[in-house]
Amino acid sequence: MSQIKVNTDLKALNNEIAAQNKEKLHSCGILTVDVLGSPGSGKTTLLENILPELAAKCRVAVIEGDLATENDARRIEKTGVKAVQINTNGGCHLDAKMIERQFEKIDLENTDVLVIENVGNLVCPVSFALGEDLRIVVLSTAEGEDKPLKYPTAMLKTDAVVVSKTDIAEYVCVSTDKLIGNIGTVNPDVKIFTAGKTDGEYRAEGLVEYILEARKNLK
């Protein structure tokens, strides 16, 4: 029983800091997006591809979360968007305090959208609020059609799911339609996008508009 109590207290403390983060970010007019998913689900690739379009329409900053390396922040900065890297040193998720510590490294007064890429993990990040307005789960076709059923919490506690790597679905014997159907079975209200290469060009139809619309509604 003591384990449950401790977890509850830690999560309550995290929620408190997350609420403070949200208040601070809203006071600067910033929409915050938490992007999460399994290792290799295609989170960084998605960001590399949507950031140029998003950054052309508003001012964006990125926080990258990883157990180790600064590789992802470097990849993001190649798009021209400023990125700061958090290393959790083995930790399985970002928490609100880690985000709060980055605020001094980001020009909050000149940011409209803050994108946080969480640690690659389809389980733990779901339970830790960061102060985000939107949560987007990235789920690749390579993970298999059954994953929405096997990881229901991630499907339920998100605003949107991006089904990524649609271009390799046939090589991994996955039906993107069936995968999308399984997401809808678990959460009929979630917004679903697809992302992948079509004729050699990466597309994530409607995602940038979805984020911009949420930013507009924040005002």
Q: Summarize as ranges the residues that interact with its own copies (CB under 8 A).
A: 3, 6, 10, 38-40, 66-69, 71-72, 90-92, 119-124, 140, 142-144, 146-147, 149-153, 165, 168, 171-172
Q: How far is the CB of 168 from its own copies (least distance, A)?
A: 5
Q: Sign of the C-alpha dihedral, residues 11, 154, 185, 31?
A: positive
87 bridge partner residues: 66
In the complex with its own copies, the residue whose CB is nearer, 30 or 155, is 155
Question: What is the distance in angstroms between the CA of the first residue and the CA of the last residue of the chain?
Answer: 43
How far is it, in rounded angstroms, from Cα 140 to Cα 97? 29
- Our CB check for its own copies shows the closer of 34 and 64 to be 64
- Chain centroid, CA 9 distance in Å: 25
* Environment class of 35 (CB within 10 Å of its CB; exposed 0-12, middle 13-18, buried 19+): buried
Q: Please say which residue, 13 or 56, places its beta carbon nearer to its own copies.
A: 13
Q: Are 123 and 38 in contact (CB under 8 A)?
A: no
Closest CB 80 distance from its own copies, rounded Å? 22
Nearer to its own copies by C-beta: 151 or 210? Answer: 151
Give min distance, CB of 34 to its own copies, in A: 17
Question: Smallest gap, in angstroms, from Cβ of residue 92 to its own copies?
Answer: 4
